[in-house]
Structure 1
Amino acid sequence: MAANPATFTDRQILTDDLLATIRGRAADHDRENTFFADDLADLKAAGYLQAMVPEHLGGAGLTLRETAREQARLAGAAPATALAVNMHHVWVAVARYLHERGDDSLDWLLRETAHGEVFGFGYSEAGNDLVLLGSRTEARPDGDGGYTFHGRKIFTSNSPGWTRLGVMGLDDTTDPDDPRIVHAFVTRDGGGFEILDDWDTLGMRASQSCTTVLDGAHARADRVIRRLQPGPSLDPYVLGIFTSFEILLASVYTGIADRALQLAVETVGRRRSMKTGKAYSQDPDIRWRVASAALALDGIWPQLDQLAGEVDALVDRGAGWFRATAGLKVRATETARYVVDEAIRCSGGSTYFNRSELGRLYRDVLAGIFHPSDDESAHSTVAQSLLGPLE
């Protein structure tokens, strides 16, 4: 049973057999804290990493909305795999976003994706609540239009698998009176970085989102995409990152919630009460919990589809995109936590064991609170859109 089957017009790359294979590995990767190398190989072979690359550039040409639906299906099979692959899809979505709006500055990324390159997201920094608006990483000009990057990036998902890493850093030396946030891409074979073996977490373990220490990682001039002033920006590159990241992230956690609801329905149909002799699916309190979880989840899908569809349709919300997509991310991750919690409450004490899939989903879904935009940032964004900036 699926609470939210894709419409018949949605194109899909992930087959049911492939998803079943990936689901069958997820518990082992979680228990052993190992990278999903086997899943990544299968996803590459299926052409899934090229999902959003336009057909004329060698990809499958899926829309953002279709890819979000696919990501939800993948998350239902293996949340950590979906989360890590999500960071690659974000970059492809950003390149697609620019391409469709007449900006070819990331067309090379679409072509390289079509030829098998895997992109990682190296933006997060400890204590940096400015996110895209500032950076603690140094971007040092090389004199030829390129930069070397020096700093520490955290939560670098798919650390063992990326071949290209998107990074940002602050250049405050070229013109100290006019510092710039430099957005660029470095390559794995170019060196200048160290990936720490420090990913031992409560959940999302297979993602291997290790700390990346940049110490001279070099981006040549043609891989420097933007030099923007620190602070809020409506540059299409920033809008592309923000909208793509939030929408695709929301899809992953909504997929987790969908799977949790499915497991709860299956479980309460099997479990029987010694008191009544009936299946727990006949217990009014259990039925209320299942229905409450479903009602909450049903409210997320239309928002996800609507916003992703608007991006695909080139709708221009301007600064309104920040409020819309930050709100979607917070509602999706918080709803997912609620749905998984209700599924746990319905399904009994066996879910408290690590061997339980619901128990694993319970740990995985908690990661949603740490991704930008967090609850505080989203509320600040919405308050500013309604009340203006703080004086």
Structure 2
Amino acid sequence: MHSPLIPDDVFERIRSRAAGYDRDNAFPHEDLADLTELGYLRLFAPSSRGGHGLGLADVAREQRRLAAAAPATALAINMHLVWTGVAKALLDRGDESLAFVLDESVAGEIFAFGNSEPGNDLVLLDSRTRADGHPDGSYSFTGRKIFTSLSPVWTRLGVFGRDDTGPDAPQLVHAFIDRAAGGYRIEDDWDTLGMRATQSHTTILEGVTATADRVFRRIAPGPSADPLVFAIFANFEILVAAVYAGIADRALELAVEAAHRRTSLKSGGRPYASDPDIRRRVAQAGIALDALEPQIDRMACDVDRLVDHGALWFAKLVGLKVRATETARVVVDQAVRVTGGSAMSNSSELGRLYRDVLAGMFHPSDDDSAHATVANTLLGPVPE
């Protein structure tokens, strides 16, 4: 285990800016500048390629710590880290198809996800976006992508779409587009309850072309054993879990502070930290949160160590994501109850965490999808 990359003074500086970015519904450009200077965008790149050479377990710890300071900043950076984590996971397994992602992250490029689509509950297994192939191997993409975090700053956007030119063998085509390319537009539509600084605007693909050298996968629709699908799923679920665990860490810290700070007139001015009901709430939050660290760490270490869980992998990963995001909601809720009415103030950090933590239920896999995945793993599919 390595020492945290973000020095304490930078960490506190990032924390001090979070409320302003949330209030102004603005992207955290200063946070990004600080993180870039520290080499945060190249965490996954091997040291031999100019990076920090970290594995998924260490990156998850970094993200959990960053999220305790600025959840939206951490969630936005997550999208770049997922792509670089995917590239590393594939490289570790002998697949160099995305090695250029690691090299370009060292060079300062910022990667983002353009995968989510309205009405597509199959996520990576199919797409509503049209992919049109060209004789030179390039592809043009037409469709609507939502929740495109890092919209103001990405330089490389990962997209995928469906190529139906072979009616008996449709293909899902994965590629990167360059920000300098024409044929897309970013809508100014991100004004949300929480996670505001992610600036996850809708991206409209209007025939934007990815050059042949940036078309990196063609996969049949439906469940796939392609390592790319596993790598995306594993990095996304684990790093999302880490971010929401970080939110819970900070909420519990604030709850403890509030319990010692608040006093009870009923008990003669004693702090609420002596009240048995408050003590039980804090204890319940602590017990729930304590379970996340070993699970996140174990799953991330298994990815790093190339452990083969076979068909159990996806059930384990969705279980982790749901447990982390739901536990974080419980912890934040208990912290709000311990803190009292002051958490309702717009200036309250805990109130902001309460809004931010709600976004966890919307990331894939959501609660219903996750339970279906685990049920299918344990019980088999429902007979038709």
TM-score (norm 2): 0.98
Equivalences for residues 100-179 of structure 1 within 5 A:
100-173=92-165, 175-179=166-170
**Which residue does the alignment assign to 1:26?**
18
**Which residue does the alignment assign to 2:312?**
320
**Which residue does the alignment assign to 1:193?**
184
**Which residue does the alignment assign to 2:247?**
256
Q: Partner amino acid for 1:146?
A: S
1:80 aligns with 2:72: yes
**Which residue does the alignment assign to 2:30?**
38
CA contact (8 A) 1:126 1:154 kept: yes
- SS across alignment from 2:120: coil
CA contact (8 A) 1:11 1:62 kept: no
Deviations 1:268-327 (A, max 9, x none): 111111111100000000000000000000011110000000101111112211101110
**Which residue does the alignment assign to 1:205?**
196
1:96 aligns with 2:88: yes
Once the 2 structures are TM-superposed, how far is the Cα of residue 143 of structure 1 from its aligned partner? 1.7
Give 1:363's match in structure 2, choosing from 350, 355, 358: 355
Q: Counterparts of 1:119 and 1:350 in 2: how far apart (Å)?
A: 39
1:235 aligns with 2:226: yes
Q: Counterparts of 1:169 and 1:279 in 2: how far apart (Å)?
A: 58
Once the 2 structures are TM-superposed, how far is the Cα of residue 13 of structure 1 from its aligned partner? 1.3
Q: Counterparts of 2:7 and 2:311 in 1: how far apart (Å)?
A: 38
Once the 2 structures are TM-superposed, how far is the Cα of residue 387 of structure 1 from its aligned partner? 1.3
Q: Counterparts of 1:133 and 1:85 in 2: how far apart (Å)?
A: 24
Q: Counterparts of 1:140 and 1:82 in 2: how far apart (Å)?
A: 34
Q: Counterparts of 2:37 and 2:2 in 1: how far apart (Å)?
A: 21
Q: Partner amino acid for 2:240?
A: L
1:283 aligns with 2:263: no
Once the 2 structures are TM-superposed, how far is the Cα of residue 206 of structure 1 from its aligned partner? 0.6
**Which residue does the alignment assign to 1:6?**
none
1:377 aligns with 2:369: yes
Give 2:295's match in structure 1, choosing from 303, 306, 310: 303
Once the 2 structures are TM-superposed, how far is the Cα of residue 11 of structure 1 from its aligned partner? 3.5
Q: Counterparts of 1:338 and 1:22 in 2: how far apart (Å)?
A: 25
**Which residue does the alignment assign to 2:379?**
387
Q: Partner amino acid for 1:315?
A: V
Q: Counterparts of 2:250 and 2:164 in 1: how far apart (Å)?
A: 47
Q: Counterparts of 1:218 and 1:180 in 2: how far apart (Å)?
A: 17
Once the 2 structures are TM-superposed, how far is the Cα of residue 15 of structure 1 from its aligned partner? 1.2
Q: Counterparts of 1:30 and 1:112 in 2: how far apart (Å)?
A: 30
Q: Partner amino acid for 1:103?
A: D
Q: Partner amino acid for 1:185?
A: F
Give 1:224's match in structure 2, choosing from 215, 218, 224: 215
1:246 aligns with 2:240: no
Q: Counterparts of 2:42 and 2:5 in 1: how far apart (Å)?
A: 10
Q: Partner amino acid for 1:199?
A: W
1:182 aligns with 2:179: no
Q: Counterparts of 1:221 and 1:390 in 2: how far apart (Å)?
A: 41
Q: Counterparts of 2:321 and 2:277 in 1: how far apart (Å)?
A: 30
Equivalences for residues 265-280 of structure 1 within 5 A:
265-276=256-267, 277-280=269-272
Q: Counterparts of 2:76 and 2:108 in 1: how far apart (Å)?
A: 16
Once the 2 structures are TM-superposed, how far is the Cα of residue 356 of structure 1 from its aligned partner? 0.1
CA contact (8 A) 1:267 1:347 kept: yes
Residue ranges of structure 2 left out of the alignment (5+ in a row): none
State, as a whole percentage, how many aligned pairs show the same letter: 62
- SS across alignment from 1:190: coil
Give 1:69's match in structure 2, choosing from 61, 64, 67: 61
Q: Partner amino acid for 1:338?
A: V
Q: Counterparts of 1:74 and 1:192 in 2: how far apart (Å)?
A: 35
- SS across alignment from 2:132: strand
Residue ranges of structure 1 left out of the alignment (5+ in a row): 1-8
Once the 2 structures are TM-superposed, how far is the Cα of residue 10 of structure 1 from its aligned partner? 2.6
Aligned length: 382
Q: Counterparts of 2:278 and 2:379 in 1: how far apart (Å)?
A: 42
Q: Counterparts of 2:379 and 2:241 in 1: how far apart (Å)?
A: 26
Deviations 1:323-359 (A, max 9, x none): 0111000000000000000000000101011110000
- Which sits farther off after the overlay, 219-228 or 75-84? 219-228
Q: Partner amino acid for 1:200?
A: D
**Structure 1 moving runs of 4+ over 3 Å:** none
1:351 aligns with 2:343: yes
- SS across alignment from 1:111: helix
RMSD of aligned residue pairs (Cα, Å): 0.7
**Which residue does the alignment assign to 1:4?**
none
- SS across alignment from 1:189: coil
Deviations 1:44-90 (A, max 9, x none): 11111101111011100111101000001110100000000000000
CA contact (8 A) 1:234 1:318 kept: no
TM-score (norm 1): 0.97
